[in-house]
């Protein structure tokens, strides 16, 4: 595994592994023990330009190579991920502080999305559309957008980079990828290495490891990319959207969430507890779909709370390399401090801590809070860490109001013995995704993924990926002669 951090601590531009030309380095740390994994000299604005120019120069030949040639490269990339799965899992554990369970979860989904990208290569189809003129033939072609810029986050960097990179390549585009600076290998250079070894022509996929302190808006302002696919916070997403709109670029924005898991009065309590604990504490709560809020009908709140608290107290925190660890470290000290501050603010405002975990460096133990004052801004924001808010409610109407009382609208779940009651409830929630009798954390390659409100714009997965990374072109053919009015 250590060779990954030694060999891949570089930029990948136009098929070459090279150092950045910036004046400072990004230091890649293990968030659990602080071990220095790699030192990477950052890319400059000039290197961002070189990366985009390389992608633009090579993209047309890649598109013209045909769907089956592209599919073959994606198939080889999938086989390489399967062959290297154990090594990639070690990288996820070391660079993200992800537990063994989380690494397995991320790799399983990554392989599923690669399989879907293999299929996606041959899926675009054209159409012949009727014309009011008998002698006119209207052809509609689905073509690549050209070059796609991808900005990926630190929480699921391997999966969420691949979710845009693989389908964009499969559909005939060039790509420039900027991974998060806390996960430059898992989310960036590791993916470049896989596609290089799979035989992807040089220049089509470029990885620039850098920071906005160095490049500003150069990555999203550059004239080459026609689509920017961004996954991250709604604050940064708003800026990306604003800059891109001014340049008529298309954006796919997968942003934050403040999801709720709702337990109705007829729910299977033991099952709902299991779903809620997973939905809140998977990967230390660093998941956009995590159930920040757990809403429980007051008639079953006492039983649910006792069982929920008992299960949370049993979650083992510590070294993510230990297979029994459920709660590993947060990604960095600023995240750890922010999450700890949320607990302190809530308690100071009158909340009751049923479980109050301690913080040691980046390791933040789970907390469970109740009696958070109604209307508290803490209940309306995303908390990217292992803190659950338990909120009782009286009846479905109040539950719907509470769930919707947030600027976000990504995911959520409801538990009930009556499936159709659950579906009716889900239909009243302002989210892009909602799950009946399950957890709130789900992603599948065929189902449109995305949110409403501040949780994003656009969708990925399945057929919606075609809309994200291709465009439609109308070519008409006049058989015979048109008659013009003058």
pLDDT digits (tens, 9 = 90+) for 365-391: 999 999 999 889 999 999 999 999 999
Q: Which residues are catalytic?
A: 254, 288
DSSP bridge pairs for 207: 12, 177
How far is C-alpha 113 from the chain's CA centre?
12
Phi, psi of 320 (to 5 degrees): -65, -15
The whole-number pLDDT of residue 2 equals 63
The 10s digit of each residue's pLDDT in 169-222 is 999 999 999 999 999 999 999 999 999 999 999 999 999 999 999 999 999 999
The 10s digit of each residue's pLDDT in 190-200 is 999 999 999 99
| Residue in this structure with the two tokens 């048109």, named with its chain if needed | 482
The stretch 435-459 carries a mean pLDDT of 97
The whole-number pLDDT of residue 3 equals 84
The whole-number pLDDT of residue 377 equals 93
The 10s digit of each residue's pLDDT in 344-367 is 999 999 999 999 999 999 999 999
In angstroms, rounded to a whole number, what is the distance separating the alpha carbons of residues 220 and 222?
A: 6
The stretch 104-131 carries a mean pLDDT of 96
Q: Is 479 helix (H, G, I), strand (E, B) or coil?
A: coil
The answer to whether residue 392 scores a pLDDT higher than 90 is yes
CB neighbour burial string for 335-351, b if at least 16 within 10 angstroms, e if fewer: bbeebbebbeebbeeeb
Q: Residue 92 corresponds to which tokens in the numbers above? A: 């996820």
Burial of residue 211 (number of CB atoms within 10 Å: 0-12, 13-18, 19+): middle
Please state, as a whole number, how many other Cβ atoms lie within 10 Å of the Cβ of residue 391.
Answer: 22
The stretch 5-11 carries a mean pLDDT of 96
The 10s digit of each residue's pLDDT in 268-289 is 999 999 999 999 999 999 999 9
Q: Is 304 helix (H, G, I), strand (E, B) or coil?
A: helix
Please state, as a whole number, how many other Cβ atoms lie within 10 Å of the Cβ of residue 165.
Answer: 29
% helix, strand, coil for the chain, step of 5 = 40, 20, 35
The whole-number pLDDT of residue 270 equals 98
Looking at the chain, the whole-number percentage of residues with pLDDT higher than 90 is 98
Phi, psi of 229 (to 5 degrees): -105, 115
Q: Which of 136, 160, 142, 141 is nearest to 150 (CA)?
A: 160
The model carries a pTM of 0.97
The answer to whether residue 93 scores a pLDDT higher than 70 is yes
The band of 406, judged by pLDDT with boundaries at 50, 70 and 90, is very high
Are the C-beta atoms of 440 and 412 separated by less than 8 Å? yes
Phi, psi of 176 (to 5 degrees): -120, 125
Are the C-beta atoms of 441 and 289 separated by less than 8 Å? yes
Domains of the chain, each with CATH number or no CATH: 2-255+455-474 (3.40.605.10), 259-436 (3.40.309.10)
């Amino acid at each position: 595994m250590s060779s990954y951090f030694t060999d891949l601590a570089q930029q990948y531009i136009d098929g070459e592994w090279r150092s950045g030309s910036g004046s400072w380095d990004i230091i890649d740390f293990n968030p659990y023990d602080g071990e220095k994994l790699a030192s990477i000299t950052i890319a400059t604005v000039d290197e961002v330009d070189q990366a985009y120019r390389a992608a633009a120069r090579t993209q047309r030949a890649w598109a013209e190579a045909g769907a089956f040639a592209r599919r073959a490269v994606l198939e080889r990339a999938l086989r390489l991920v399967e062959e290297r799965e154990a090594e990639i899992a070690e990288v996820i554990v070391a660079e993200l502080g992800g537990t063994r369970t989380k690494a397995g979860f991320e790799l399983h989904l990554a392989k599923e999305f690669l399989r879907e990208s293999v299929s996606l290569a041959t899926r675009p189809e054209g159409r012949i559309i009727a014309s009011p003129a008998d002698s006119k033939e209207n052809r509609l072609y689905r073509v690549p957008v050209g070059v796609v810029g991808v900005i990926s986050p630190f929480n699921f960097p391997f999966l969420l980079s691949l979710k845009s990179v693989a389908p964009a390549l499969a559909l005939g585009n060039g790509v420039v990828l900027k991974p998060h600076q806390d996960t430059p290998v898992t989310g960036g250079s590791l993916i470049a290495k896989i596609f290089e070894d799979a035989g992807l022509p040089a220049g089509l996929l470029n990885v620039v490891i850098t920071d906005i302190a160095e490049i500003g808006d150069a990555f999203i302002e550059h004239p080459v990319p026609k689509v920017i696919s961004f996954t991250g916070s709604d604050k940064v997403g708003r800026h990306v959207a604003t800059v891109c709109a001014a340049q008529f670029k298309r954006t796919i924005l997968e942003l934050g969430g403040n999801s709720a898991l709702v337990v109705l009065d007829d729910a299977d309590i033991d099952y709902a507890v299991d779903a809620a604990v997973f939905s809140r504490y998977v990967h230390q709560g660093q998941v956009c779909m995590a159930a920040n809020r757990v809403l429980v009908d007051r008639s079953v709140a006492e039983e649910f709370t006792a069982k929920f608290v008992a299960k949370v107290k049993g979650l083992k925190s510590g070294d993510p390399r230990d297979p029994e660890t459920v709660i590993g470290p947060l990604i960095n000290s600023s995240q750890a401090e922010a999450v700890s501050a949320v607990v302190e603010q809530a308690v100071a405002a009158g909340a009751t801590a049923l479980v109050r975990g301690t913080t040691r460096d980046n390791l933040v133990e789970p907390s469970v809070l109740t009696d958070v004052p109604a209307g508290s801004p803490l209940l309306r924001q995303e908390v990217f860490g292992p803190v659950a808010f338990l909120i009782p409610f009286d009846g479905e109407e109040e539950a719907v109001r509470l769930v919707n009382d947030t600027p976000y609208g990504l995911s959520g779940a409801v538990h009930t013995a009556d499936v159709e009651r659950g579906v009716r409830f889900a239909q009243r929630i302002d989210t892009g995704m909602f799950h009946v009798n399950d957890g709130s954390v789900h992603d599948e390659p065929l189902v449109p993924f995305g949110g409403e409100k501040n949780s994003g714009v656009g969708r990925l997965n399945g057929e919606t990926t075609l809309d994200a990374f291709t465009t439609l072109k109308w070519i008409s053919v006049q058989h015979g002669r048109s008659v013009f009015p003058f």
